[in-house]
Amino acid sequence: MNEVYSINGPVIKVKNAKNFKIMEKVFVGKQKLLGEVISINDDHTVIQVYESTTGLMRGEKVYNSGEAISAVLGPGLLGNIFDGIQRPLYSIFEANGAYIKPGTNVDCLDMKKTWNIKMKVKTGDYIRFGQIFAVVQETSLIEHRLLVPKNVIGEVIMAKPDGHYSLEDVVVQVKDKNDTIHNLSLYQKWPIKEPRPIAKRLPLTIPLVSGQRVIDTLFPIAKGGSAAVPGGFGTGKTMMQHQFAKWCDADIIVYIGCGERGNEMTQTLDEFTELIDPKSNKPLIERTVLIANTSNMPVAAREASIYTGITIAEYYRDMGYHVALMADSTSRWAEALREISGRLEEMPAEEGFPAYLPSRISQFYERAGYVNTLSDSSGSVSIVGAISPQGADFSEPVTQNTKRFVRAFWALDKELAYARHYAAINWNLSYSEYIGDLSKWYNKNISTDFLESRQRFITILAEENKLMEIVKLIGKDVLPDDQKLVLEIARVIRVGYLQQNAFHKDDTFVPLEKQLRMMKLILYLEKSASNILKEGKAFSLLQKSNIFEKIIKVKYDIPNDNLDMFEEYYKIIDESLSQIR
Amino acid sequence: MNLQYIGLKEINGPLIFLDNVKGIGFDEMVEIRLENGSVRHGRVVEITGDLAAILVFEGTRDLSLTNTVIKFNGKPMEIGLSKNVLGRVFNGIGSPIDDLGPVYVDEYRDINGEPLNPVSRLYPKNYINTGISSIDGLTTLIRGQKLPIFSGSGLPHNDLAVQIVKQAKLTGKDADKFAVIFAAMGVTNDVANYFRRSFEEAGVLDNVVMFLNLSNDPIIERLLTPRCALTTAEYLAYKHNMHILVVMTDMTAYCEALREFSSSKGEIPGRKGYPGYLYSDLASLFERAGIIKNAKGSVTQIPILTMPNDDITHPIPDLTGYITEGQIVLDRDLHRQGVYPPIGVLPSLSRLMKDGIGAGYTRKDHQPLMNQIFASYAKVMDARSLASVIGEDELSTTDKSYIQFGKYFEKHFISQGMINREIRETLDLGWKLLSIFPREELDRTDDKILDEFYNHEVAVSQFELNDDLIIKELSNEEN
Ligand SMILES: Nc1ncnc2c1ncn2[C@@H]1O[C@H](COP(=O)(O)OP(=O)(O)OP(=O)(O)O)[C@@H](O)[C@H]1O
Ligand SMILES: [Mg+2]
């Protein structure tokens, strides 16, 4: 029998063991702590333990399971909140009360609950891995499509009628060409570190619309794409992720709180239960899976949380859904890798991170994509990963390596956050490489004006940037009037457009149509004002007219459901400028 | 299972190594008895086969390979608790040092605590009135929050902490349910006495528990001090429904002790020699703040740390900021100018305030006021840096008005001395100061709010701006 030989925090070693497999799930000691085999050599096997090892003794037994650490996939995921190894926190709460105790053994999904399923196959059908064999209304919002598990291909020899079944009930039997019988129930397991297969990757041509102006307009992310949000503490990473989770037009949200605050997860849970999705009129929680492995929870499970999350995301993608995954924060995940690596006394690369950090990061982001699924539909997983760079210095390894693998980069800025300009996305440092691929979509579905206006905005902001160099040296007063106008319009763009108040009922989410109209209104103001200057009128007159302030406040003053009001504002601009004439 | 062993295999820094041990658990507490009868405490930090590494909290001075008897306690370190701890003084590992004898024990608790299940937390919403404008107005403290003070050596963080404790006393029916737990790590005797005296003056001493690991106490012991304090806090909060404010100072000394432990263990160091798990370790302390369902009490934390070289990107403030729910940053320039409390409001933040302010909590104009102050004060900084290049006289009228606002804001709003201000006074003062500006400059604020709260005339008379050239220019232009 295998016994614990050494213990160093979450890392334990077993001597002279031969029967372990790499990445195998094991149970450690009397408490049956969950662990994973992470390395094997002829002398010893190294296991990382997902729970606290306090009190563990040398000589306690280590039990094999024969299988890899896996996610349990089936109805009951939505609306639920799990820890990093997919233990439902409500069940743990019922078992242990307020605190999470090691060795808590609870089912990942509710095995007793019955689900009303509708069969999609019948006896005699030929089915294979990835196909839909039954459906069930998981929440009032989402139909859960049960997929044929891995390695199953053959003829249906038994299919239960529609009706109520619990997760473990066998509802379909399949006979393969070797006459082996496979039992299909309402759930399946999938190793979390193994990407789920797809039929084909598709190009990314549709934006994941978030209703956040600076993202949708300037730095959009495609459905199936990936984005990184780096920023020092308090710059708004979590808020940004929450805004995305609340408002983006994905069907399913997987939100991973990886090594972050407990209160934030509580808040997410509360808010998402209360918040009603405007499109479906249902609470947002009905399309959301929460994973909370907070900073004080065991560090190895923090490492697992990212994989648990992405596996669940892929599972819903394979049903034909658009899934958006938020990981807050990938830095904590990388630090978990570093901590485990340090305990293994591996040779560190940059800043103590293991040499395999870049490959782990790339493997994670590679799991995003827009695909044809094995069930002949299409779905996507988009990833938005927060990064918490040490000292807010973007040259550190996690930021740098992530940059290589994502195509949208939303750099949060301390100075903007200090001035409470939120979202504090620095428009000079951020970028999106998706814009070219998405242009067709914007032109067709919104208007060709959209990208033109966007370009004009970018030009004005760049001009402002240049002018500010001068202003910093000699002040604004000496600039000629047309340049003063550039600065003023840039201010309108910054304060009236890029800045967005997440706590304002209309401003928190802004449809693309309104984004377009706001841009056009601001550009109309620019054009009209510049005409006034051409007529020889002084800029100070323009300023006194108060029109810039009026346009800045449009974001609050025009409700999202009354876009006709924009027409009035064109008149207001004309009127107030005509008074100058 | 009380196992005893005689003699050691190796001594290295604060670590001792024991060979041929069996049946001991990871993280278990040990007692180390010296020849002279004195007892030290340690913890099993690594087990490799029959070899155990033990961290000795009081240090390994005077230990030899032969003069010790080690007793394993069979469980992690615990602290004995009852309501009688109130009013008592303990050392850094929870032994009484106030000559009042042992404490009656109602229950023993593991000082390491356990991670709180997020679904058992209640999201904190009730604000604590500290009577300090820059905190109440701009970085509101919420009951159950962890809000550190980022300070520097020589800055008045202790005065500020004391002022918060004194003024934050709950009033009304909850008043007797309020207690302060003070954990000192590596601070001088003077500082500890200062806190003690101040608690006494505030008349809260009977509701204070002190854990003192002073600068001349064993360094490694500091690793236990905050854990003893927080375990006590949780006990009082969740068992006796009390509202506990935990003041922990100086977290920098705590982190240094952790670094010392880590390097003696030969671990691969992270940034500036601090261990890679500093974040997780600090989180295991700070995450113990909060409110839980089914309990009426709360644990609020005000950790104090001194930023080495005033550098906010140093790993200690940096990692702290990533864990806590905001920070109050003290500013050396303001301090030099005699502003007290010298709170640098721009880098300061309270993340929990948004749900604890506004109509029904403080006042409906609170959020807009705060947004506008931050925006305007940020521009003050721009105007100042411009002024430092081209001279104040060359500034535009608008920039001058920002310089003006900055001056008055720091003088009247931030600087308040030991006075206790009602939230209403703080908010009114904020509007008066903003009203120094022409109304158009307040571009973050709704017209409705401005209609109600903006009043330029009042500002002019209040701050006697009439004589002031800049403002005259401004009001002339307005006409
Ligand atoms: N879009 C926004 N609208 C209004 N306020 C915001 C916005 N974004 C951020 N904030 C403010 O900034 C605070 C900090 O934001 P957040 O918690 O998202 O930071 P963070 O980058 O996740 O920090 P950390 O790395 O420490 O977790 C929030 O509590 C909120 O007050
Ligand atoms: Mg965050």
pLDDT tens by residue, A96-105 = 899 998 888 8
How many angstroms separate the CA atoms of B352 and B367, rounded? 13
Sequence-distant (6+) residues with CB within 8 A of A431 are A219, A408, A409
A6 with B49: Cβ contact below 8 A: yes
Distance between alpha carbon B151 and the CA centroid of its chain, in Å? 10
Query: At B440, is the pLDDT very low, low, confident or very high (cuts 50, 70, 90)?
Result: confident
What is B3-75's CATH number?
2.40.30.20
Does the structure show a pLDDT above 80 at B475? no
How many angstroms separate the CA atoms of A398 and A350, rounded? 10
Q: Is A140 exposed, middle or buried (0-12, 13-18, 19+ CB in 10 A)?
A: exposed
Query: At B473, is the pLDDT very low, low, confident or very high (cuts 50, 70, 90)?
Result: very low
Query: At A124, is the pLDDT very low, low, confident or very high (cuts 50, 70, 90)?
Result: very high
How many angstroms separate the CA atoms of B218 and B230, rounded? 20
Does the structure show a pLDDT above 50 at B467? no
Nearest Cα of chain A lies from the Cα of B199 at a distance, in angstroms, of 30
CB atoms within 10 A of CB B378: 18
- Do A239 and A422 form a contact (C-beta atoms < 8 A)? yes
Nearest to A327 by CA among A310, A352, A344, A343: A310
Q: Which residue(s) pair with B179 in the sheet?
A: B244
Sequence-distant (6+) residues with CB within 8 A of B469 are none
Query: At A491, is the pLDDT very low, low, confident or very high (cuts 50, 70, 90)?
Result: very high
Within 8 A of A546 by CB-CB distance, chain B residues are 440
**Cis peptide before B348, with omega less than 30 degrees from 0?**
no
Does the structure show a pLDDT above 90 at A454? yes
A269 with B277: Cβ contact below 8 A: no
pLDDT digits (tens, 9 = 90+) for B7-65: 899 998 899 999 998 888 999 999 999 888 889 999 999 999 999 999 999 888 888 88
**Chain B contact for A294 (CB, 8 A cutoff):** yes
DSSP character at residue B449: H
Residue A427 confidence (pLDDT) = 95
Q: List the end-to-end C-alpha distance of chain B, in Å, as a whole number.
A: 88
User: Which ligand sits nearest to residue A234's alpha carbon?
Assistant: 1
Does the structure show a pLDDT above 60 at B105? yes
A55 with B28: Cβ contact below 8 A: yes
Pairing of strands B178-187, B243-249: parallel
Helix segments in A234-354, DSSP class H = 237-247, 262-274, 299-318, 330-343
Query: At A346, is the pLDDT very low, low, confident or very high (cuts 50, 70, 90)?
Result: confident
Tell me which fold the domain B366-478 belongs to: 1.10.1140
Query: At B2, is the pLDDT very low, low, confident or very high (cuts 50, 70, 90)?
Result: low
Is residue A422 within 6 Å of ligand 1 at its C-beta? yes
- Which two structure tokens, joined as six digits, stand for A43? 């002398």
* DSSP codes, B151-181: E-TTS-HHHHHHHHHHHT---GGGGGGEEEE
Mean pLDDT over the full length of chain B: 90
Query: At B96, is the pLDDT very low, low, confident or very high (cuts 50, 70, 90)?
Result: very high
B280 with A339: Cβ contact below 8 A: yes
Mean pLDDT over the full length of chain A: 93
- Write out residues 155-214 of B within 8 Å (CB-CB) of A: none
Does the structure show a pLDDT above 90 at A450? yes
pLDDT digits (tens, 9 = 90+) for A397-431: 999 999 999 999 999 999 999 888 999 999 999 99
Helix segments in A391-509, DSSP class H = 397-403, 414-418, 435-445, 448-474, 481-493
Could you tell me the distance, in angstroms and rounded to a whole number, from the CA of residue B89 to the centre of ligand 2? 37
Residue B172 confidence (pLDDT) = 52
User: Which ligand sits nearest to residue A237's alpha carbon?
Assistant: 1
- Do B150 and B305 form a contact (C-beta atoms < 8 A)? yes
Task: Give the number of the atom of ligand 1 that is nearest the alpha carbon of residue A231.
Answer: 21
Does the structure show a pLDDT above 70 at B471? no
Say which of A89, A339, A414 has its CB closest to residue B118: A89
Q: Is A114 exposed, middle or buried (0-12, 13-18, 19+ CB in 10 A)?
A: middle
Residue A575 confidence (pLDDT) = 92
pLDDT digits (tens, 9 = 90+) for A233-264: 999 999 999 999 999 999 999 999 999 999 99
Return the amino acid letter for A313.
Answer: A
Say which of A6, A495, A503 has its CB closest to residue B443: A495
The architecture in CATH of the region B79-355 reads 3-Layer(aba) Sandwich (3.40)
- What residues have a C-beta under 5 A from ligand 2, the ion? A 237-238
Of A507 and A477, the structure prediction assigns the larger pLDDT to A507
Residue B474 confidence (pLDDT) = 46
Say which of A98, A338, A556 has its CB closest to residue B446: A556
Domains of chain B, by residue range, sit at 3-75, 79-355, 366-478
Say which of B25, B28, B354 has its CB closest to residue A503: B354
Residue A70 confidence (pLDDT) = 94
Does the structure show a pLDDT above 60 at B235? yes
Does the structure show a pLDDT above 80 at A4? yes
- Do B156 and B341 form a contact (C-beta atoms < 8 A)? yes
Residue B174 confidence (pLDDT) = 67
Q: Which ipTM did the prediction report?
A: 0.91
* DSSP codes, A373-407: -TTS-EEEEEEEEEE--GGG-TTSHHHHHHHTT-S
Task: Give the number of the atom of ligand 1 that is nearest the alpha carbon of residue A412.
Answer: 21
Does the structure show a pLDDT above 90 at A278? no
What mean pLDDT comes out for the span A164-182? 95
- Chain A residue at shortest CA distance from B293: A98
Nearest to B111 by CA among B274, B234, B282: B234
**Per mean pLDDT, which range of A305-314, A321-330, A454-463, B466-475 is the poorest?**
B466-475
Residue of A215, A238, A246, A264 to test ligand 1 pocket, by largest number of atoms within 8 Å of CB: A238
Task: Give the number of the atom of ligand 1 that is nearest the alpha carbon of residue A260.
Answer: 27
